[in-house]
Amino acid sequence: MIDSEVARLFDRRSALFLTGGAVLTSVLIIRMLQMQVFSYKDYKRRSESNSFRIQINVSERGKILSASGSPISRDAPIYRIYLVPEETDDIDGLIKIVSRELKIRKKSIDRIYKTIKKQVKFQPVLISENSDWKKLAELQAQNLPGLHIKSGYTRIYELGSAGAQVFGYVGVPSKPVPNAPFFTTGITGLEKAFNESLTGTPGQTVMIANAVGRITGEDKEQFIPSQIGKNLKTTIRENIQKKLHDVLTLNRAGCGVVIEINTGNILAMASTPSFDPNNFRMDDGEEYIASLRSDIAKPFMNKALEGLYPPGSIFKIIVALAALESGALLPNEKIFCPGYWDYGDRRYHCWEKKGHGSVDLVGALKHSCDTYFYQIALRIGIDSIKSMALKLGMGEKFLSEILPREMAGVIPDRNWKEKNIGIQWLHGDTIISGIGQGFILSNCLQIAVMMARVASNKIITPKLVEDNNSENFKNLKLQTKNIKTVLNGLEQVLQTGGTASGNAINVNGKKMGGKTGTSQVRNISMSERESGVLTNEQLKWNMRNHGLFVGYAPTNNPKYVICTLTEHSGTSSPAVHVAAETMKELLRDG
């Protein structure tokens, strides 16, 4: 038996280990507390990112609607089959199987490989859309790693290339969103401007993954359904938009805007050559985009807003009104045009070499007599012209909040020239401003707005998006008789002898008035003028004059305004033709 000495020895020596054991146990407890209580949040976060694979459920994008409510751009449900390169060790094998099963063309396979090379490995690569569902189901049943089949949406652009620059298109965001395959965002136009409301609220599906990343199920509790985006109602009239686009495409390049005067609604806005965003997702989409990029006629440019041109003779409307309002010109005052006007040591040529003879204001507008307006412009001065131009909406941006690339253009004066050119303003500058040349630059929308304001004597401001506010435009406070005189001149333009008489229209007695313009792209040198000005046919395409036209109809009660421009068409008549055809369609509508 243990004697007391041994028992004491045991007690004494074991006490040390009991103490040690207690200390070590408290170390464990402290560590447990530290991990599970104090650093809990950090570990929790790491644990969640470990086991959950969050997939963004792309929401159905809202439609872009025409004024009548028909869709211009809409999302259509589709099935996509795509692969994620990082999920498979055998991409070649996978593509081989899929292309055999779905009979994918060589061209698509090339595109697939190209995309794989270009993209980050976690990004999905589209194989095809809307393949035969039965075949897809068979493929899905094979459970090939890296291969996914998922329902989603694709954007359909109902108007195709008509107004594509205005409505814009969607595409992959420049910074790809992880876990959201085929997530798209508005890249240009209204798709971009209203991206937030169009996009809606994406939902999420949380998949549970195991340690090797294989999805083992779905965490239904964390599922959030996506919410469809809001529709965007525009002021665009589908048929007018199409018509304007179609007649514009008869020319190499151009643009046009149609405005409803009472409301300021933009009924059509087109720019050509255009592009069809429906083609972007085709197999040769990239080549298509590349060819568009290299086109010198700039298909991606919304020329109606971004294209600045000298307004040419159209500007005479402004000069005429400025002169009448200032009282410096009486409508019946006649000025003799011998085909030129000598001022100072320079000769200013009228476009009509033979001259117009003695013309009053209405005649000067009808025939677009340069000599008349040279003299009127100099008489009233550039400041007077400028203030009238600004009143009528020239130099103003109207849609830049939604289409920020809109350009303001230039309505020059003394200060402007000194600041920007560094040379003093000369009388010659005022003289050529009288026919809309020189430094003046404007876009089609501004010209259309100018016409709408003149025709209505109201400060019309255009809009592209329906906001359900009935517009109450303020009065422009021009003298009615002056407006009548100018409009009378513009009516004559499309009558016998007028500069646009060849395109006169008459839809149930409804006629169009307007003004033509050509804007010079190059300066004609003295020597060239002496040896005979080169005709447009002799010039390279991009050196030829632009043709412009602004019109309104019906003449007795103006409802619509149209401004058209045909780039490098040489004369204005192609532009008048576009306007006339579009206006006919409008007048037939009522």
Choice between 3 and 92, CB closer to another protein: 3
Residues in contact with another protein, counted by CB under 8 A, come to a total of 40
Choice between 28 and 526, CB closer to another protein: 28
Choice between 35 and 390, CB closer to another protein: 35
Q: What is the DSSP string of 388-441?
A: HHHHTTTT--SSTTTSTT----B---HHHHHHHT-S---HHHHHHHTTT-TT-B
Report yes or no: 411 and 395 within 8 Å, Cβ to Cβ: yes
CA distances from 526 to 13, 100, 347, 432, 568 (A): 120, 70, 10, 16, 22
Please report, as residue ranges, which positions from 494 to 533 form the binding site for another protein (by CB under 8 A): none
| Token pair for 528 | 């060239």
Q: Least distance in Å: CB of 2 to another protein?
A: 5
Q: Least distance in Å: CB of 12 to another protein?
A: 10
Choice between 13 and 540, CB closer to another protein: 13
Question: Quick count: other Cβ atoms within 10 Å of Cβ 159?
Answer: 25
- Report CA 429 to chain centroid distance, whole Å: 34
Please report, as residue ranges, which positions from 48 to 67 form the binding site for another protein (by CB under 8 A): 48, 50-51
Please report, as residue ranges, which positions from 429 to 448 form the binding site for another protein (by CB under 8 A): none
From 3-11, 162-170, 301-309, 541-549, give the range in contact with another protein by CB under 8 A: 3-11
4 binds another protein (CB under 8 A): no
CA distances from 41 to 37, 47, 324, 519 (A): 8, 10, 78, 69
Q: Least distance in Å: CB of 23 to another protein?
A: 11
d(CA 575, CA 590): 23
Please report, as residue ranges, which positions from 8 to 47 form the binding site for another protein (by CB under 8 A): 9-11, 13-14, 17-18, 21, 24-25, 27-29, 31-33, 35-37, 39-40, 42-44, 46-47
The SS3 of residue 445 is helix
Which residue, 284, 77, 75, 69, is CA-closest to 191?
75
Binding mask 160-189 for another protein (x = CB under 8 A): ------------------------------
Beta strands in 158-244 (DSSP E): 170-171, 185-186, 203-209, 215-218, 232-233
Instruction: Give the one residue of 91, 144, 187, 209 binding another protein; rule: CB under 8 A.
Output: 209
d(CA 258, CA 567): 18
1 binds another protein (CB under 8 A): yes
From 2-10, 175-183, 195-203, 526-534, give the range in contact with another protein by CB under 8 A: 2-10
Residue 443 φ then ψ, to 5°: -110, 175
d(CA 126, CA 146): 12
Q: Least distance in Å: CB of 42 to another protein?
A: 7
Choice between 13 and 175, CB closer to another protein: 13
Report yes or no: 258 and 266 within 8 Å, Cβ to Cβ: yes
Choice between 46 and 522, CB closer to another protein: 46
Give per-residue burial for 558-579: e unless 16+ CB within 10 Å, then b. Answer: bbbbbbbbbbbbbbbbbbbbbb
From 90-98, 166-174, 204-212, 312-320, give the range in contact with another protein by CB under 8 A: 204-212
Q: How far apart are the first and last CA of the chain?
A: 123
d(CA 121, CA 125): 9
Q: Least distance in Å: CB of 121 to another protein?
A: 21
Choice between 50 and 556, CB closer to another protein: 50
Please report, as residue ranges, which positions from 247 to 276 form the binding site for another protein (by CB under 8 A): none
Binding mask 210-249 for another protein (x = CB under 8 A): xxx---x---------------------------------
| Token pair for 34 | 């530290």
Q: Least distance in Å: CB of 37 to another protein?
A: 6
Q: Least distance in Å: CB of 14 to another protein?
A: 6
130 binds another protein (CB under 8 A): no
Give per-residue burial for 180-205: e unless 16+ CB within 10 Å, then b. Answer: bbbbbbbbbbbbbbbbeebbbebebb
Binding interface with another protein (CB under 8 A) = 1-3, 5-6, 9-11, 13-14, 17-18, 21, 24-25, 27-29, 31-33, 35-37, 39-40, 42-44, 46-48, 50-51, 208-212, 216
